[in-house]
Structure 1
Amino acid sequence: MSETIVKPYIAEELLEKIKSEIVEEKQVILHCCYKSGFFLEEKIRIWSSTYLVDRQSEHVSKLVHFENISLFPEWTDVPFGKEYWFTLVFSGLPKSCKVFDFIELIPQNDEFFQEGIVRNSSDVYKIKLDM
């Protein structure tokens, strides 16, 4: 015995409402390079108060994951005179975003900051950081 599957009818106005409420979840990945000084022992860390800020809409994307770097209050040692790479993952930026800033808001000096990052289609970036 064969059963017929009937596709349910969904009113057009309901479909439109659902479309307007869908939020695309696309993450933004920053591969960050920090180069230590030649004569100083250095330590770095990331704070949870680190964001990507859309220059046009002031939308704020939050840090959702990090790799190869410690989260405050812990520290990560950076070898003398070496480039040290770590990865940060943020919640998605709006589709309309063309340029954004990477901002670490912390209550001390030496925060990470990179302004004017031009958006690309992959939302994966390599940036060099100074403190």
Structure 2
Amino acid sequence: MSTVTKPKIAPEILSQIQEKFEEERQVIVHCCFQNNYMVGNLVRIWPSTFLVDKFTGYSSKLIFWENIAVFPYWTDIPPVKEYCFTLIFSALPKECKVFDFVEEVIQGKGFLVTDIIRNETDVYTIKLT
């Protein structure tokens, strides 16, 4: 019977791996938009959408989106339906406890959700209006 031995990894390499893992952490935001109208509604997200640390002002950048159009294109929302999509942002600082969801736009009014309390999973669901 053979025994399996675990490889030994130098502590300094483990430390570097952990640092890189912390650096690469991403924040997932599930967004839901309610269309209360009897006709379709259009929605999109701008690439200038950020998560902003409430105390340091650090901005986490949008790096991926799913199920939503990005400016200049639009997504048609069916009448009287809630429509959900997912955004992925770069990591927030470890020290961040509260942040804002900020969409900076040059036309109209961007989405804004303030005072989001940070959790251990860095996965959030927000309602957009």
- Normalising by structure 2, report the TM-score: 0.82
Taking only aligned residues, the RMSD between alpha carbons, in angstroms, comes to: 2.3
Counterpart amino acid of residue 60 in structure 1: S
C-alpha displacement of 1:39:
2.4
Find the counterpart in structure 2 of residue 92 from structure 1.
Answer: 91
Opposite residue 111 of structure 1, the aligned amino acid is: G
Name the CA distance, whole Å, in 1 between partners of 2:104 and 2:34.
21
Are the equivalent residues in 1 in contact too, given 2:53–2:98 (CA < 8 A)?
A: yes
Query: Percent identity, aligned pairs only?
Result: 52
Partner residue, 1:74: 73
Provide Cα deviations, 1:61-83, integer angstroms capped at 9, x if missing partner.
Answer: 00000000001111000011100
Q: Which runs of 5+ in 2 are unaligned?
A: 1-7
CA deviations 1:70-110 (Å, max 9, x no partner) are: 01111000011100000000000001000000000001223
Alignment of 1:5-20 (within 5 A): none
Give ranges in structure 1 of 5+ residues lacking alignment: 1-6
Aligned length: 118
| Residue number in structure 1 paired with 2:105 | 106
Q: Quote the Cα distance in structure 2 between the aligned partners of 1:109 and 1:79.
A: 21
Secondary structure in structure 2 of the residue aligned to 1:24: helix
- Structure 2 distance, partners of 1:108, 1:99, is 27
Match of 2:5 in 1: none
Aligned twin of 2:58:
59
Q: Is the 8 A contact 2:39 2:78 kept in 1?
A: no
Aligned to 1:39: 38
TM-score between the two structures when normalised by the length of structure 1: 0.81
Moved over 4 A (4+): none
Name the residue aligned to 1:120: 119
